[in-house]
Structure 1
């Protein structure tokens, strides 16, 4: 254990393998405030926690499929889910023995957001195909690039000692922004000033609530009041003018007494503006739209679908590409990469589904009637319905389009 002594009066205890100690050793510049911004402090910031949780949960809940692209004897291309490949189950159902696909992806995503990097040990089976992805302890892996451009990973074991792992045994998922091409940037480092100032503001608010004067006003009089008069005044105030039921009630004052309310000063208003500004600053680092962070005063109204589209397009889409290409880089064998038949696909359509009315209009246009680009069974599959054959009859048969009757012209 190492105790960090800084310009602040308090001391902070850090583990030798903690990210905070690594930052201290590297000489990370302090925040604009006296608060040391670590993982715990950042997650206590409601805006930062909401943004990280929203992105990680969205990535975790979206289905991830291993797809296969093939060409038949006629040269026609076909696309199908590669369900016969072990990696399909790893990505879609069970990456390891103790995590679901949602738990694995959301955990790796929030690590990439907070620390910039997330690592998992690749366990391969027959033919070198991936059968498990096991997350490695955070802060225990360091990528190394040799002089001949060979990538390896230094893994520090909990029991002691280090081991060098080849790139084929480590799944590395990182933030798209990187300063050296190997390590992703940490949002905690990037937003250190904003989170630190926000933490100082919250601490100041706590001190005000605990030790500050919260009276709404004062009662003044030029006459002296005896103990009996003061006691009667306190009793009257407690019974007749406190609580929600007495809100807005006018007071009846005795002995020439005058009421002097306390009004919030411009300094208090600026303090409140500071807290709002720091929430906006933190939100910019994540790219999550303001309404989704739950501190926007405007109404969503009918723009909720556009808000979801903005979130997917400008916030989540870069993460989709980062996930897909990281899996293809680390989990495909060399032969699979050369063949270019397999690829990974996030189903972002699950986040873009509109109302039933919007979906009905979309699929109606997709079906035709003359130049449709989807079949009835493809539409049924989108709603998890079983396919229907074309020769079925009765109420369960798929309706077939009928040609409009042609009018016959008159002959003379």
Structure 2
């Protein structure tokens, strides 16, 4: 049985001999515990599981931290929302819309996901697990579909002959072994060339401390009594047992955030002395801010994009956005484009096609800045042009037009009417 068989395809049609491409069965997406040999458990034990702070950092627990969730979702959504097109080499403005892979990358990788959903899932796995895998559905040597494989149930193995195989364990049991030619593999930062390293695991201590700080704050608001002061008896006096019991009951009624700062009835001449803000409270606030910065550093996301900085949202935010694209997203653009070239194009196609993200929308300035830039390049003021209309339309993700006048200075002087002195 080949890959189409165990993924749910019924083989070639008896009448036409064609390979059906509709209704493939989804690969496993579950995270249930299947026993002591469950791959999730083995991976958890192999990675250490618990940090020095006492917090257990897994992808599910880490994503409960708002800074981690923001970083992962921001990068994943950015990768997912940008157009990803297949081009013919040497003709960037011409999209290879007639190639089956164009539709897989740009519209529909499989029967239950859009291209946006597929790339968002794959990028999330690459960030949280270090790798993202998808089984290839082929017609001849062309890829016509991609089926995501959970990296927590996938083992990458390099054999003695240096060939690489992928061992996937579906939810219903039974291990499947796929050769490298049948798998699309997107790697993150790697130290061995086979598996990427999870950013969550690399930052486990920072994330674990952030989780513990959040839990400490939650416990404070759930169980703490926020009265902001202390009760004192006059010197030489002692609180009676009856008064103590009444005071204790009154204080218990004021536990929790809902009862914060309510008045307390004192007993037998007690005096209330409010507390000033303690250094411990200030340190707790600083630690929460510092852990957000640590998480942002790992993922390469500027602090203002995590909504934690005092920087005003003016012209400077454009510069921060461009920095995020250049240094935070560009490495992932390149990783995707080269993985597509390596895994999804045949040897004969690799010299003719390439995939490219259109990140121009994220790097553009304001509409006013763009208009001024294009005006200078197109020679609006009768200067020598150095841009063509179709180049501008390509950057704006618009198709070329034949009804536009050809600019002077681009090899079209002969088409212009003769000028007399």
TM-score normalised over the length of structure 1: 0.77
Partner-residue secondary structure (3-state), 2:337: helix
1:124 is matched with 138
> By how many angstroms is 1:372 displaced?
2.4
Matches within 5 A, 1:227-238: none
Question: Pick from 89, 92, 107: which aligns with 2:121?
Answer: 107
- Name the CA distance, whole Å, in 2 between partners of 1:156 and 1:47: 32
Partner-residue secondary structure (3-state), 1:171: strand
The C-alpha deviation readout for 1:215-255, integer Å capped at 9, x for no partner, is 1345768599xx9xx9xxx9xxxxxxxx9xxxxxxxxxxx9
> By how many angstroms is 1:316 displaced?
0.3
Partner-residue secondary structure (3-state), 2:89: strand
Partner-residue secondary structure (3-state), 1:148: coil
The C-alpha deviation readout for 1:17-51, integer Å capped at 9, x for no partner, is 76651234426263111121112210111100000
Structure 1 residues 274 and 173, CA gap change in structure 2 (3 angstroms):
same
Contact 2:169 2:175 in 1 (8 A): yes
2:222 is matched with 210
Matches within 5 A, 1:149-164: 149-164=162-177
- Name the CA distance, whole Å, in 2 between partners of 1:60 and 1:150: 31
RMSD of the alignment, in Å? Answer: 3.6
In structure 2, runs of 5+ residues without a counterpart are 1-31, 251-258, 260-267, 407-415
**Is 1:281–2:301 an aligned residue pair?**
no
- Name the CA distance, whole Å, in 2 between partners of 1:171 and 1:159: 23
**Is 1:165–2:185 an aligned residue pair?**
no
Question: Pick from 318, 323, 329: which aligns with 2:331?
Answer: 318
Structure 1 residues 391 and 38, CA gap change in structure 2 (3 angstroms):
closer
1:265 is matched with 278
**Is 1:196–2:208 an aligned residue pair?**
yes
Contact 2:88 2:354 in 1 (8 A): yes
Contact 2:393 2:400 in 1 (8 A): yes
1:181 is matched with 193
- Name the CA distance, whole Å, in 1 between partners of 2:292 and 2:324: 18
Structure 1 residues 67 and 142, CA gap change in structure 2 (3 angstroms):
same
Question: Pick from 57, 68, 72: which aligns with 1:37?
Answer: 57
**Is 1:354–2:402 an aligned residue pair?**
no
In structure 1, runs of 5+ residues without a counterpart are 1-12, 71-76, 235-242, 244-254, 393-401
Question: Pick from 57, 66, 69: which aligns with 2:77?
Answer: 57
Structure 1 residues 14 and 187, CA gap change in structure 2 (3 angstroms):
farther
Structure 1 residues 221 and 323, CA gap change in structure 2 (3 angstroms):
same
**Is 1:22–2:35 an aligned residue pair?**
no
> By how many angstroms is 1:273 displaced?
1.5
Contact 1:113 1:187 in 2 (8 A): yes
- Name the CA distance, whole Å, in 2 between partners of 1:364 and 1:164: 57
- Name the CA distance, whole Å, in 1 between partners of 2:279 and 2:184: 53
Contact 1:363 1:379 in 2 (8 A): yes
2:106 is matched with 92
Runs of 4+ off more than 4 Å: 13-20, 218-224, 255-259
Partner-residue secondary structure (3-state), 2:315: helix
Question: Pick from 366, 374, 379: which aligns with 1:363?
Answer: 374
- Greater displacement, 98-107 / 378-387: 378-387
Partner-residue secondary structure (3-state), 1:336: coil
1:239 is matched with none
1:379 is matched with 392
Partner-residue secondary structure (3-state), 2:365: coil
- Name the CA distance, whole Å, in 2 between partners of 1:21 and 1:98: 28
> By how many angstroms is 1:203 displaced?
1.1
- Greater displacement, 314-323 / 153-162: 153-162
1:294 is matched with 307
The C-alpha deviation readout for 1:75-118, integer Å capped at 9, x for no partner, is xx775211110101111111111111110001100001001111
